[in-house]
Structure 1
Amino acid sequence: MSELKKRINYTVACVHEFAKQFQISGKTAFQYLDQYKGIQFLKENYDIEHTLSIEDAVDDLAVLCRKNGGRY
């Protein structure tokens, strides 16, 4: 599997788990994470984040998004 495909799959998994944790749709989760810089964070920190559990990654996303004005 190519590196790009791994990154995409990881991002999709994080968005899905974020949506599940906060009981929102996948589309809403993606839009929220994009707006509050969560997607950018995953892109820039993939090398570290993908070594953590998905739960830790979702927690990191929630903290980051709240710092950037989000509510989840």
Structure 2
Amino acid sequence: MSELKKKINYTVVCVNEFANKLNIAEKEAFDYLYKYKGIAFIKEHYDIEHTLSMDDAIDDIIMICRNNGGNL
């Protein structure tokens, strides 16, 4: 599997897990993560984030989004 495909798959998993954790729709989760830089964070820090537990990665993403004005 190519590195790009791994990053895409990981991003999809993060969006789905974020949605599940906050009990929101996947589309709403993606829009929120995109708006508040969560998706950019996943892309930029994939090399580190994918080695963490999913709970830790989602906690990191929540923190990044809050730091960028998100309030979910």
Say yes or no: TM over 0.5.
Answer: yes
Q: CA RMSD in A?
A: 0.5
Q: Name 1:44's counterpart in structure 2.
A: 44
CA distance in 2, matches of 1:57, 1:50: 8
SS in 2 for 1:69: coil
| Deviation by residue 1:18-65 (Cα, 9 ceiling, x = unmatched) | 000001000000000000000000000000000001111100010110
The normalised TM-score by structure 2 is: 0.98
Counterpart residue type for residue 53 of structure 2: S
User: AA paired with 1:65?
Assistant: C
Distance 1:21 1:47 in 2: 23
Instruction: Specify every segment of 5 or more residues in structure 2 that has no aligned partner in the other structure, as ranges.
Output: none
Alignment-derived partner of residue 18 in structure 1:
18
* One-letter amino acid of the counterpart of residue 56, structure 2: D
Runs of 4+ residues over 4 Å off in structure 1:
none
SS in structure 2 opposite 1:51? coil
| Number of residue pairs aligned between Structure 1 and Structure 2 | 72
Letter of the 2:62 counterpart? A
Give the secondary-structure state (helix, strand or coil) at the position aligned to 2:28: helix
Matched, 1:59 2:56: no
- Distance in 1 between residues matched to 2:54 and 2:70, nearest whole Å: 20
